[in-house]
């Protein structure tokens, strides 16, 4: 018995070598400086007073999706950058930009250098449709288009042709699809006041795009967007039409509807026939408040009909029950897309789960356009040495602990390796979702520390930041510290002030690295 107690005390003492009383720092590396990475770093620093957290990112700039994904006309969403900056400026935290996991440093090396490695590098690739014509010019993923207008240095040369046609087809009906539709249809005078990249603003100012088709393979009861984002697009129509009728359109319990935030002079088209619901749909709508709100908004937009068209009018078409079959090449064989060949669909319930999938009917129709944006979801990519579930597109994990399939379904926990954000749960959720996600992963880390999971490595100190710096120096990797980002930030704000914008983003690797090093 006494032996047991002695063992317990010894183990606790041992484990506590990582506690706040310990002289030994807990070395943590967070890979990826988006919301999931920063929320994790913040929570680790708070929970473990002896933790030293290094955040690495392949870009010279921090903040991931907040900088490259959030639409420029959503500045309020970007305010979280202030909170993340405070984390980066914590004495126990460091940022190393321009450091790519997999080339500048391997996962194996990071695990050797740090007690805890938290992977938060998100989803930087795209799901593919795998249908003919996907590689035609003019077919882009929404991610590329978003990165282009947000000044991501990997997409600043995208140069989408917005002048040759008045029609764009967007595949998918999630919030990213709404973002790209809004940017394409928005008045450029409004966009000019945002931090949109100057190359994108110039192209949009000259754009001849007047019609955007948002095409979903399922129906309005399954649309993937959320009500707040949808309302932004639709508000203007309600106001336009209710003002014309001299009445205020009823928006039950909807205070936001009182402000007109939508796109002016936008005509929204939805076929009333598509609003027909089946008993399964009814059940879904009854039980899911978010879907119900979206469905109600779409119904109202459909029933409002078209207002008097004007020459400046832009059109947004919600098209349901169509799945892309192939992309249509242009007649002159110049390798450019000229439209999408769709198959009409019906929904089929999977078992009695309530989930309905789209199945083809054998009936087809074409939609001509000059550009297609595939907004069907982002995709994470693995790095060497990382267990990865290719089917789900995530790192297999239990509450953020990375697990490995060893054999016959048996799993093993990868000691000291954790995952958070889109890499952990797939590419869904808003920025705040990452807060809860980070909470879960950091709780797992804390539990593992308490349980002595790292005990075998304790005697062996880890090199942490110093080891990383040595390794990067040895490879002549010019990392960008947070002070380098602050120089970029300062310069972008200075350039922005000359154009009455919050910032003018530097959009090339060369400019970013040059200013960071000045």
Binding-site residues for FAD: 36, 65, 101, 422, 429-431
Widest CA span of the chain, in angstroms?
88
Closest CA to 485 of 518, 440, 446: 518
Verify binding: residue 133, ligand NAP, rule CB under 6 A: no
CA atoms within 13 A on the CB side of 174: 14
**For residues 177 and 184, which CB has a smaller minimum distance to ligand NAP in the complex?**
177
Residue positions forming the annotated binding site? 36, 65, 101, 173-176, 217-218, 229, 422, 429-431
Verify binding: residue 219, ligand NAP, rule CB under 6 A: no
CA 38 to chain centre: 15
Strands (E), 281-396: 314-319, 322-329, 337-349, 356-368, 371-374, 378-379
Given a contact cutoff of 8 angstroms between Cβ atoms, the answer to whether 226 and 290 are in contact is yes
Q: What residue has token string 């690797």?
A: 509
Determine which helix (DSSP H) or strand (DSSP E) holds 419, and give its type and residue range: strand 410-419
User: What's the DSSP call for residue 84?
Assistant: H
Verify binding: residue 195, ligand NAP, rule CB under 6 A: no
Question: What is the rounded CA–CA span in Å between residue 187 and residue 195?
Answer: 15
Verify binding: residue 376, ligand NAP, rule CB under 6 A: yes
Which window, 91-99, 171-179, 493-501, 510-518, contacts ligand NAP (CB under 6 A)?
171-179
Verify binding: residue 217, ligand NAP, rule CB under 6 A: yes
Q: How far is the CB of 142 from ligand NAP (least distance, A)?
A: 7
Question: What is the rounded CA–CA span in Å between residue 342 and residue 253?
Answer: 38
Residues numbered 296 to 335 that lie near ligand NAP (CB under 6 A) are 323
Given a contact cutoff of 8 angstroms between Cβ atoms, the answer to whether 213 and 319 are in contact is yes
Q: How far is the CB of 255 from ligand NAP (least distance, A)?
A: 18
Structure tokens at 123: 């989803």
Among 116, 185, 224, 423, binds ligand NAP (CB under 6 A): 224
**For residues 229 and 448, which CB has a smaller minimum distance to ligand NAP in the complex?**
229
**For residues 44 and 176, which CB has a smaller minimum distance to ligand NAP in the complex?**
176
Verify binding: residue 179, ligand NAP, rule CB under 6 A: yes
**For residues 167 and 345, which CB has a smaller minimum distance to ligand NAP in the complex?**
345
Verify binding: residue 462, ligand NAP, rule CB under 6 A: no
Question: What string marks each residue from 413 to 442 as x (binds ligand NAP by CB under 6 A) or -?
Answer: --------------xxxx------------
User: Looking at the chain, how many residues does it have?
Assistant: 518
Verify binding: residue 175, ligand NAP, rule CB under 6 A: yes
**For residues 25 and 216, which CB has a smaller minimum distance to ligand NAP in the complex?**
216
Verify binding: residue 218, ligand NAP, rule CB under 6 A: yes
User: What's the DSSP call for residue 17?
Assistant: G
Size of the site for ligand NAP (CB under 6 A): 25
Residue positions forming the annotated binding site for NADP(+)? 173-176, 217-218, 229, 429
Given a contact cutoff of 8 angstroms between Cβ atoms, the answer to whether 373 and 168 are in contact is yes
CA atoms within 13 A on the CB side of 1: 0
From the number of C-beta atoms within 10 Å of its C-beta (0-12, 13-18, 19+), residue 501 rates as buried
Among 229, 343, 414, 491, binds ligand NAP (CB under 6 A): 229
Question: What is the rounded CA–CA span in Å between residue 292 and residue 226?
Answer: 10
**For residues 187 and 433, which CB has a smaller minimum distance to ligand NAP in the complex?**
433
Structure tokens at 305: 């009909």
Residues numbered 245 to 304 that lie near ligand NAP (CB under 6 A) are none
Q: Is the dihedral of CA 335, 378, 37, 225 positive or negative?
A: positive
Residues in contact with ligand NAP by the rule CB under 6 A: 129, 171-177, 179, 216-218, 222, 224, 226, 229, 323, 375-378, 427-430
């Amino acid at each position: 018995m006494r032996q047991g107690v002695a063992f317990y005390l010894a183990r606790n003492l041992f484990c506590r070598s990582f506690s706040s009383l310990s002289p030994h720092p807990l070395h943590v590396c967070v890979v990826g400086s988006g919301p999931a990475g920063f929320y994790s770093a913040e929570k680790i620093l708070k929970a473990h007073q002896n933790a030293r957290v290094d955040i690495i990112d392949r870009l010279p700039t921090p903040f991931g999706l907040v900088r490259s994904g959030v639409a420029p006309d959503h500045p309020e969403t970007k305010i979280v950058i202030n909170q993340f900056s405070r984390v980066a400026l914590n004495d126990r935290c460091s940022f190393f930009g321009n450091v790519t996991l997999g080339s500048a440093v391997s996962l194996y090396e990071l695990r050797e250098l740090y007690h805890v490695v938290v992977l938060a590098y998100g989803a930087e690739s795209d799901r593919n449709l795998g249908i003919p014509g996907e590689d035609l010019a003019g077919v882009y993923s929404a991610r590329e288009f978003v990165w282009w207008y947000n000044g991501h240095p990997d997409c600043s040369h995208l140069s989408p042709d917005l002048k040759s046609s008045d029609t764009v087809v967007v595949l998918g009906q999630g919030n990213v699809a709404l973002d790209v539709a809004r940017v394409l249809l928005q008045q450029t005078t409004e966009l000019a006041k945002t931090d949109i990249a100057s190359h994108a603003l110039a192209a949009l100012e000259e754009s001849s795009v007047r019609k955007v088709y948002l095409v979903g393979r399922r129906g309005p009861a399954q649309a993937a967007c959320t009500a707040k984002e949808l309302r932004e697009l639709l508000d203007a129509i309600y106001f336009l039409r209710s003002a014309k009728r001299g009445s205020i359109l009823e928006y039950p319990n909807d205070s936001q509807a009182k402000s007109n935030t939508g796109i002016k002079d936008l005509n929204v088209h939805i076929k009333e026939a598509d609003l027909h619901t089946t008993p399964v749909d009814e059940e879904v709508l009854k039980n899911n408040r978010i879907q119900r709100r979206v469905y109600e908004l779409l119904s109202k937009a459909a029933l409002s009909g078209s207002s008097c068209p004007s020459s400046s009018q832009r059109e947004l078409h919600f098209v349901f029950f169509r799945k892309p079959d192939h992309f249509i090449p242009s007649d002159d064989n110049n390798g450019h897309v000229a439209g999408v060949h769709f198959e009409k669909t019906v929904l089929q319930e999977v078992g009695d789960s309530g989930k309905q999938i789209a199945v083809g009917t054998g009936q087809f129709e074409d939609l001509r356009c000059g550009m297609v944006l595939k907004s069907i979801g982002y995709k994470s990519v693995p790095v060497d040495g990382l267990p990865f579930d290719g089917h789900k597109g995530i790192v297999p994990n239990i509450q953020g602990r990375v697990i490995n399939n060893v054999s016959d379904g048996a799993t093993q926990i990868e000691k000291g390796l954790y995952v958070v954000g889109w890499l952990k749960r797939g590419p869904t959720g808003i920025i705040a979702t990452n807060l809860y996600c980070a909470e879960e992963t950091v709780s797992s880390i804390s539990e593992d520390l308490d349980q002595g999971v790292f005990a075998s490595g304790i005697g062996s100190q880890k090199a942490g930041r110093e080891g990383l710096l040595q390794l990067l120096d040895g490879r002549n990797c010019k990392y960008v510290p947070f002070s380098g980002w602050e120089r970029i930030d300062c310069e972008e704000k200075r350039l922005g002030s000359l154009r009455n914008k919050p910032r003018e983003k530097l959009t090339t690797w060369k400019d970013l690295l040059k200013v960071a090093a000045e």
